[in-house]
Amino acid sequence: MVPFRVIWRNLFGHPVRSLLTAASLVVAMFLLCVLRSLVVTLDAGVTEARTDRLVVQSAASLFVTLPENYRGKVAAVEGVKHVCSWTWFGAYYQRRENFFAQFSTDQDTLLAMYPEMEIVAGDYERFRLNRNSCIVGEALVKSYGFKLGDKVPLIGTFIQRLDGQPWEFEVAAVYRSKAGTLDSGTLFFHHEFLKKAREEKLCTGEEGVNTYVVKVADGNDPITVASRIDSLFENGPQKVQTTTEAEFNAQFVSMIGNIPFFLSAIGSGVLFAIVMAVVNTMLMASREQTRAVGILKALGFTSTTVFLVFLLQAITLSLLGGGTGVALALATSDALRDALGTTFPNYVVSHDTVVVGLIVTVVVGLIAGLVPALKLAKLNPVNALRAEQ
């Protein structure tokens, strides 16, 4: 039988030290959970990608546009249910620092293409019917205070109005994304609007669209449909490359560089530092508890019990601090997402992260407690009792 009261009392035999160690653990585990959540959020576009969506892009470059008439041709391919175009607009709101994603799109198919798009304010129909309107993500409402009916002025960079005026889109609806495949910080407007401005030579920029997203009809193999689309344009004028949504999103993740490497390097730095800290604390504690161990042994407690008492003490300390850190990460999930604004609009601390965080916490306690616990367990009670207090 393990005397749990002894564990508890030992832990608070030196309250300041336990508190400081626990506080370091709070900070470290909070940081680790946040780092992991950032990676998970970045990867969500890949891990949560739907298998029934394909992306058609130019085989040469994402920055080479595809002709407008590809839309109809792709839609006519066997196994294609919907087609929705995306074209990067690259403008900014008031100042260059206020940068967020804007795309022109096909208002008739956007909502059908993305069931994860949930309208939280306004009316999608209103957006669909009004050519000068837009639909904005919730993160933009939080960051810039856009309201329904507002006319959002956007200053073009590579697509500029020739009269020098900013573009204006009326906010018709606000959406929230329920999955990592759609960003909650994007503004969508009618592609027809942009196409018309270009046809009437009111603005700069090239004709065409960046990508066509395709919804594969039920019962069709996406890979077969993709190769049908690719072979359709094999001889130009623009060769296309059709990929799954997961592959398409993966290229953006890999573009940022070796993020998993950077973050795991930082993570190991944090972990290493915290393990050293807890080992240090447990060594100090073991020195002080040598006499107490002598008493336990003299009272007839076995070496195994002494070992467990000390190990559990380390794990309890670790859990007190680490657990709080994990809980803190979980509790600040929403606040941090809002603070990160449009950079990580889908940031969330997942249950996986909480579980991983707690496991790491227990392992840190185990590592820190193991060596001193073994040393104490092996002590001869006579020598232990003689130790200085």
Q: Show the tokens assigned to 144.
A: 């810039």
Question: Sign of the CA dihedral 274, 277, 282, 285?
Answer: negative
* Contact pattern for other proteins over residues 128 through 167, marking x by CB under 8 A: ---------------------------xxxx-x-------
Q: Which residue has the tokens 């990929």?
A: 243
Peptide bond into 222 cis (omega under 30): no
Q: Is 124 exposed, middle or buried (0-12, 13-18, 19+ CB in 10 A)?
A: middle
* Contact pattern for other proteins over residues 262 through 291, marking x by CB under 8 A: x--xx--xx-xxx-xx-xxx-xx-------
Q: Which is nearer to other proteins, 47 or 304 (CB)?
A: 47
Q: Which stretch binds other proteins (CB under 8 A): 101-109, 134-142, 248-256, 375-383?
A: 248-256
Site size toward other proteins (CB under 8 A) is 55
Binding to other proteins in span 176-215, by CB under 8 A: 204-206
Q: Residue 28, interface with other proteins (CB under 8 A)?
A: yes
Are β-strands 167-177 and 117-122 bridged in parallel, bridged antiparallel, or unpaired?
antiparallel
* Contact pattern for other proteins over residues 59 through 88, marking x by CB under 8 A: xxxxxx------------------------
What is the residue-wise DSSP string for 214-246? EEEPTT--HHHHHHHHHHHTTTSSS-EEEEEHH
Q: Which is nearer to other proteins, 82 or 239 (CB)?
A: 239
Q: Show the tokens assigned to 296.
A: 């336990």
Q: Show the tokens assigned to 138.
A: 């919730």
Are β-strands 167-177 and 133-137 bridged in parallel, bridged antiparallel, or unpaired?
parallel
Residue type, 78: E
Q: Which residue has the tokens 């293409």?
A: 113
Among 48, 73, 82, 90, binds other proteins (CB under 8 A): 90
Min CB(238)–other proteins separation in Å: 8
Q: Which is nearer to other proteins, 2 or 336 (CB)?
A: 336
Contact 212, 70 (CB under 8 A): yes
Nearest 5°: CA angle at 231, between 230 and 236? 85
Q: Show the tokens assigned to 14.
A: 């030196």
Q: Residue 95, interface with other proteins (CB under 8 A)?
A: no
Q: Residue 332, interface with other proteins (CB under 8 A)?
A: no
Q: Which is nearer to other proteins, 36 or 215 (CB)?
A: 36
Min CB(7)–other proteins separation in Å: 20
Q: Show the tokens assigned to 184.
A: 């909650």
Q: Which is nearer to other proteins, 4 or 252 (CB)?
A: 252
Among 1, 236, 299, 335, binds other proteins (CB under 8 A): 236
Q: Show the tokens assigned to 174.
A: 């606000």
Q: Which is nearer to other proteins, 136 or 159 (CB)?
A: 159
The residues of the shown chain that bind other proteins, judged by CB under 8 A, are: 16-17, 20-21, 23-25, 27-28, 30-31, 59-64, 90, 96, 155-158, 160, 204-206, 236-239, 241, 251, 254-258, 262, 265-266, 269-270, 272-274, 276-277, 279-281, 283-284, 388-389
